[in-house]
Chains A and B, each alone.
Chain A
C-alpha cells in the first residue's frame, strides 16, 4: 500500500529519523541528562503580592530552560535536568503550609524558594521537620529556629541603607525626611532600617506614617507626609502599586523634593502617570539588568544583559525587583550542590556556606546575620544604588553593606529593637 506516491514503510522510517533528529536538536539536554532534580517555587503568583512572586517564577523558568538546553547541571558526577515545580501561596500562611507539604512529600523537591514574610512561620516547622533547605527574600524571617532557611539573594531591608548613604554623600542639602510604610512584615523592618540609616547620616526624620495594606486612596497619606515639608519622601518597602499611587499623589500635590524607595517596579508606568521630570533623580535599589555596570568582572550573575533581553522578550513589561533574584538563588543553590557533590538539602546548605563566603549576584559576599537575626544565614556584600535618569534606571554606585555595618551596627540594632523586629522579639 502506498501513501500517495510515497511508500508507507519509507514514510514511517523517514518520519522516525526526522523525529529523532528533531528531538536531538531541540532538546539536547534532555537526552544527555541522566536524572531530574526538582526545585519548589512557593510564592504568591496571584493576589496583591503577586508582583514579588510571579516575575520571579518567570526568571527561574528561563534559568532552568537555559541549563537544560545546555545539557542539564552536573552535580556529584550525575547530570540533572532541572524542573521548577510552582505552587501559588497567594501570600496566605495556610496556602503556604499546604504548598510546602505538597512540594516536600508529593513532588519530592530538593529545595524550596519562597518570598517569605507573613507566609514563613507556617512553613518553618514543616521545613525543619523534613530538614528541607528553603530560601527567603526576606532575612527578617531568619532566626536560630530556622537552621534550614537561607537569605542568599537580598538582605531586605538592610540594603536600603545604601540608598540613604549615597544620597547623604551626593545630596547633602537634603536634611529632613518623612517615611510612610504599609503596616506589615515587609514595612516595619524596612522602617527600622531607614530610621537607622537616616540617623547615621544626620538626616532628621520628621514623621513615620503607617497605612493599612488595604489602603486604596493615598491622597490623605501624602497630605500627611507633605504637611512636614520634607526634603526627602521615603516610600519604604511599599508594594509596587502603592509606590505608583504615592508618586501620583506626590506629583498632584506639587511635591518637588527628593524621593527614595526600596523598589520602583514598573517605573515606566509611574513616569507615564506623573512625568519624566518629576521622577528624575528618584533613588531605589533594584537595577534593570541591561545596565552596563552589571558587566563588571565582580558580578556573578551569568550574562545579566542577555537574561534581561530574553526576559523582556518573553514577558514584556513584567520586569521587576524579583525577576532576577529567585534565578540568582538557583545559581547559589547549584554552586552549593556542586561543592557538596549532592542534591541532598543539608549537604547543599553545607556547600553553600563553605568558607563563610558565597558568590552573590553582585559580587563576593559573606554569610552574616548573627547580630540581627541570630543566625549567619544571610549572604551580604555589595548592593547597587539605582537612580532614575532621563526616564531610565541607572546604577550610580555599589555600596558595601558590611562596611556600613562596621560603623553603624549599634544604630541599626537600636531601631530594630524599638520596632520589635529583632529575632528574639518576634513570636
Chain B
C-alpha cells in the first residue's frame, strides 16, 4: 500500500468511524438506561435519512433544516416507542426486544409505503471534492467532512451534557444502578424517556447527515445496526467511551481490510474482531463485568 492509498484509506475510515459512533452511542444510551436491545435503531437511522430526503431533496429546503427536522422527528419516534412499547414492557426481559423487532418492521413498511422501494441516491450541497492540506491523496467530499465535523460536535456535546448537567448525572446514575438512583429520588421513567429521545436523535442525525452519501432505502438500517452491535459488544455494553473507541477500531479495521483485500473478507474480519474481544475480555474493552 503506497502512502497515497494509505492516507485516502485513513480518511475513509475516519468518516466510517464518525457515523458509526453516532449510531452506536445512541444504542448504548438506550441499552444502558433501559436494558432494551433496540433492534429498531437501524430503522431510526433510516427514518432520519428519509426526513432529509423529504425536506432537502423533495421540498428543496436547506440541508441543515433537513438535519434539524430529522433529529426532531426521529426523537419524537423514539419518545413514542418508549411510551407505547418499552415502558409497558420494562419488567419483561424479552418484551422490549420483541417490540423493537415489531417497530423495525413497521418502520420499514412505513418507508416503503411513503417513499417506494427504489433507493434514493441524491447529491448533498457539499458534494465537491476537498483536498486537505494541499495533499492530493487526502481528497474527500465536503459532505463527508460535514459528517465527521458533526459527529465530533454532537458527541462532544453529549459528553459535556452527561458530565456537567444534572440530567446527565441522573442518566449515568440510572445506567449504573437503577434501584440506587430511584432511592435518591431520580425518576427512572423520565430518565428512560430522556435516554430514548437522545439515542433516537443521534440515530436520526446520523441518518440525515449520511443520506446524501449512501443510498437511502427502506432497508438501509440493516448493515448499520450490525456494525453498531459489533461496536457496542467490542466497546463494552453500556460504555459510551467504549463505543466510540470501538467505532474507530472497527471502522479502521473494516476499511483497511476492504481496501487491501475485499469487502466480504472485511465483514468476516469485523466479526472475528468481536469474537476475539469476547474471548479475551468478555465484558468488552471498557465495559464492566456483571456483578454476581
A residues apposed to B, CB below 8 Å:
45-48, 50-51, 54, 183, 209-212, 214-217, 219-221, 223-224, 226-227, 240-241, 244-245, 248, 251-254, 266, 269-270, 272-273, 318
User: A220-B266, A248-B121 given. 16 additional CB < 8 A pairs?
Assistant: A47-B219, A48-B119, A50-B118, A210-B264, A211-B264, A212-B267, A220-B254, A220-B255, A220-B258, A223-B5, A223-B9, A224-B5, A251-B129, A252-B127, A253-B129, A272-B122
* Interface contact B215-A269, CB-CB below 8 Å: no
- Chain B residues with CB below 8 A from A226, complex form: 5
CB contacts under 8 Å to A, within B1-52, are 1-2, 5, 8-9, 12-13, 15-16
Chain B residue nearest to A54 (CB atoms) is B117
List residues of B (207-239) whose CB comes within 8 Å of A's CBs.
213-215, 217, 219-220, 222-224, 226
A105 to B123, CA, bound (A): 47
The answer on a CB contact under 8 Å between A48 and B219 is yes
Complex: A54 Cα to B119 Cα, angstroms? 13
B259/A47 in contact, CB under 8 A: no
**A273→B259 contact, CB < 8 A:** no
> Known contacts being A252-B141, A253-B129, is A272 close to B123, with CB within 8 Å?
yes
Interface residues of B in 104-123 (CB under 8 A from A): 112, 117-119, 121-123
B214 touches A245 (CB 8 A): yes
Q: Say how far A45's CB is from chain B's closest CB, in angstroms.
A: 7
Complex Cα distance, B13 from A252, in Å, reads 16
Cβ contact within 8 Å between A273 and B123: yes
Q: Known contacts A51-B118, A241-B119; is A219 also within 8 Å of B139 by CB?
A: no
**Does B123 lie within 8 Å of A217, measured CB to CB?**
no
B277 within 8 A of A: no
> CB within 8 Å of A: which of B188-210?
none
CB of B285 to closest CB in A, whole Å: 23
Chain A neighbourhood of B262, CB < 8 A: 183, 209-211, 224
Q: How far is the CA of A54 from the CA of B217 in the complex (A)?
A: 15
Roughly how many angstroms separate A244 CA and B215 CA in the complex, as a whole number?
A: 9
Inter-subunit contact A241/B215 (CB<8 Å): yes
CB-CB under 8 A from A270, the residues of chain B are: 121
- The interface residues of chain A lying within 8 Å CB-to-CB of B219 are 47-48
B286 close to chain A: CB less than 8 A: no
Most chain B CB neighbours (cut-off 10 Å) among A211, A223, A240, A270: A223
A50-B117, A245-B214, A245-B215 are known contacts. Are A215 and B2 too (CB-CB below 8 A)? no
Name the residue on A nearest B224 (C-beta).
A216
Q: Is the interface on chain B under 10, 10 to 19, 20 to 34, or 35 or more residues?
A: 35 or more
Q: Is B153 an interface residue (CB 8 A)?
A: no
Q: Report the separation of the CA atoms of residues A220 and B122 in the bound assembly, to the nearest whole angstrom.
A: 20
Q: A224-B260, A227-B1 are in contact. Are A241 and B117 (CB under 8 A)?
A: no
A216 contacts B220, C-beta separation under 8 Å? yes
Interface string of B244-275 (1 = CB under 8 A from A): 00000000001100111011101100000000
- Residues of the A chain whose Cβ atoms lie less than 8 Å from the Cβ of B101: none
Q: Is B162 an interface residue (CB 8 A)?
A: no
Bound-complex Cα distance A214 to B263 (A) = 10
In-complex Cβ contact of B215 among A47, A183, A216, A254 (8 A): A216
Closest CB-CB distance, B263 to chain A, in whole Å? 3
Q: In chain B, what residue has the closest Cβ to A55?
A: B118
B139 interface neighbour in A51, A54, A252, Cβ under 8 Å: A252
Q: Which 9 A-B pairs have the closest CB atoms?
A: A211-B263, A241-B215, A220-B258, A214-B223, A219-B12, A216-B214, A50-B117, A244-B121, A241-B119
Give the distance to chain A from B252, nearest Cβ to Cβ, in Å.
11
Which of B16, B117, B214, B254 is within 8 Å of A46, CB to CB? B117
Most chain B CB atoms below 10 A, which of A46, A47, A220: A220
Q: Please tell me if the beta carbons of B139 and A183 are within 8 angstroms of each other in the complex.
A: no
Q: Are A217 and B117 in contact, with the CB atoms below 8 A? A: no
Residue of A whose beta carbon sits closest to that of B15 = A219
> Quick check: is B278 within 8 A (CB to CB) of the other chain?
no
Residue of A nearest to B260 (CB): A224
Q: Is the CB of B267 within 8 A of A241?
A: no
User: B140 within 8 Å of A by Cβ?
Assistant: yes
7 A-B residue contacts at CB 8 Å? A54-B117, A214-B222, A215-B223, A219-B12, A220-B13, A240-B119, A254-B129
Q: How far is the CA of A210 from the CA of B213 in the complex (A)?
A: 20
B residues near A210, Cβ cutoff 8 Å: 262-264
Given the interface contacts A50-B118, A220-B12, does A254 sit within 8 Å of B139 by beta carbon? yes
Given A217-B16, A223-B8; A241-B129 close (CB under 8 Å): no
A244 contact set on B, CB distance < 8 A:
121, 215
Which listed residue, B2, B9, B121, B127, touches A220 by the CB 8 Å rule?
B9
Residue of B nearest to A50 (CB): B117
Q: Which residue of A lies closest to B16 (CB)?
A: A217
Measured CA separation A54–B264 after assembly (Å): 28
Within the assembled complex, what's the spacing in Å between the Cα atoms of A221 and B12? 10
Which residues of chain A come closer than 8 Å to B215, judged between CB atoms? 216, 241, 244-245
What's the least CB distance linking B10 to chain A, in Å? 10
Contact A252 B123 (CB under 8 A): no
- Which residues of chain A have C-beta atoms less than 8 A from B136's C-beta? 254
Instruction: List the B side residues contacting A251 at CB < 8 Å.
Output: 129
Which of B112, B136, B258 has the most chain A CB atoms closer than 10 A to its own CB?
A: B258
Residue of B117, B140, B226, B258 touching A224 (CB-CB under 8 A): B258
User: Judging by beta carbons under 8 Å apart, are A183 and B264 in contact?
Assistant: yes
Taking the nearest CB of chain B, how far is it from the CB of A280, in angstroms? 18
Let me know if A212 and B263 touch, CB within 8 A: yes
